[in-house]
Amino acid sequence: MMTREEILHHLTAPSAANLFAEARQIRQSTKGNGIFLRGLIELSSICQRNCLYCGMRHDNPKVHRYAMQDDEIVACAALAAQLDFGTVVLQAGECERLWTRERVSTLIRRIKAETGQKVTLSLGERSEADTAEWKAAGADRYLLRFETTDRTLFNQIHPGSPQTDEHPRVAQLLRMREQGYEIGSGVMLGIPGQTLDSVVTDLLTFQTLQLDMVGLGPYLRHPETPLGQSALTSEVPVSVDFTCRCYAITRLLLPNANIPSTTALSTLDPINGRTQGLSSGANVFMPNLTPAFYREGYQIYPGKICVIAPQADSLDALKATFTTLGLHQQNG
Ligand code: 5AD
């Protein structure tokens, strides 16, 4: 067990070199040298929500809104299979009208039958009946970040959230665990108004929930959003070092978890982000397989960098990074 004080110490100590070394050692013993690649497919930029931080929010008129066709999505999954990834992540802006229970079920069945890839869903807050049917159709995992355990802050940045005692996303995660999903969650680091103390609670909550996967990224200001335009700041630093400390602490708290080095981290520092992420206990990387002509529409934050997997050079660059670190791609 790690105490709150120990976690706070890890987050604020002058050097984190020992913390990173310990996290690497634990990853080595639980995961070996293999890094899982998950092919991210961004199905659509159409969103019914108005989250104050997200560039794809419904009320941002400057977004190019697109939605992929089912055949295009299955073709991306086939590419993931060809590249020996093992899993695709179907992510989209929240939109029940577009991603109906039936349509998603059909997609899951097709991807499994036609490509053999595992399917992770990341379609936002959905009903118990929806996620039950998708599980029955063969979905393996669901990603839903709870963004922050601070309920006041959560409600401020998610207009229209229910005023329930229970965190709505935590409630959904627990339901999906009962339904047989592997569950993934996570938070943004450095949201205006977020405190260090609440990040300690976030990290401990990953452990309480025994998450199978934890995604953590720095909060990146989007100028076309209310939060991006506000003067509010956070005592939580937006930095590669702080994000990597959170990866390492998560690795200590959940030795077996799958922890991606996130796109937001690579965007914050395109040169060193992913190397540092993979050097602080992360064991997953999620190359973007969305067709290039759609990508511009999926700007949840500005300057989002994408590993263009179909272009062999950037996938090669990723593999070269693995080799430098003594790691290798692993199917799973
Ligand atoms: N900065 C960083 N991460 C963001 N996300 C959404 N908007 C931003 C932003 N401005 C993250 C949220 C969401 C995930 C898909 O992207 O954590 O869950």
Domain that holds residue 201: 4-322
Residue-wise pLDDT for 112-140, tens only, equals: 999 999 999 999 999 999 999 999 999 99
Return the ligand 1 atom nearest residue 145 CA: 18
Return the ligand 1 atom nearest residue 215 CA: 17
Q: Is 82 helix (H, G, I), strand (E, B) or coil?
A: helix
330 lies in some domain:
no
> Count of alpha carbons within 13 Å of 64, Cβ hemisphere only?
8
pLDDT at 204: 98
Return the ligand 1 atom nearest residue 220 CA: 1
Q: Is 216 in the pocket of ligand 1 (CB under 6 A)?
A: no
332 lies in some domain:
no
By CB atoms closer than 10 A (0-12, 13-18, 19+), residue 67 is middle
Residue-wise pLDDT for 311-329, tens only, equals: 556 888 899 999 999 999 9
328 lies in some domain:
no
Distance of CA 323 to the CA centre of its chain: 24
Question: Who's near 184: CB < 8 A, 6+ residues apart?
Answer: 120, 141, 142, 143, 144, 211, 212, 213, 214, 215, 258
Q: How many domains does the chain have?
A: 1
327 lies in some domain:
no
Q: pTM for the complete prediction?
A: 0.97
331 lies in some domain:
no
Q: Mean of the per-residue pLDDT values for the chain?
A: 95
Record the tokens describing residue 99, joined without a space: 């991603």
Residue-wise pLDDT for 187-241, tens only, equals: 999 999 999 999 999 999 999 999 999 999 999 999 999 999 999 999 999 999 9
| Angstrom distance (rounded) from CA 212 to CA 255 | 10
Q: Is 123 in the pocket of ligand 1 (CB under 6 A)?
A: no
Percent of the chain with pLDDT over 70: 98
**DSSP symbol at 308:** B
Q: What is the CATH number of the domain that holds 155?
A: 3.20.20.70
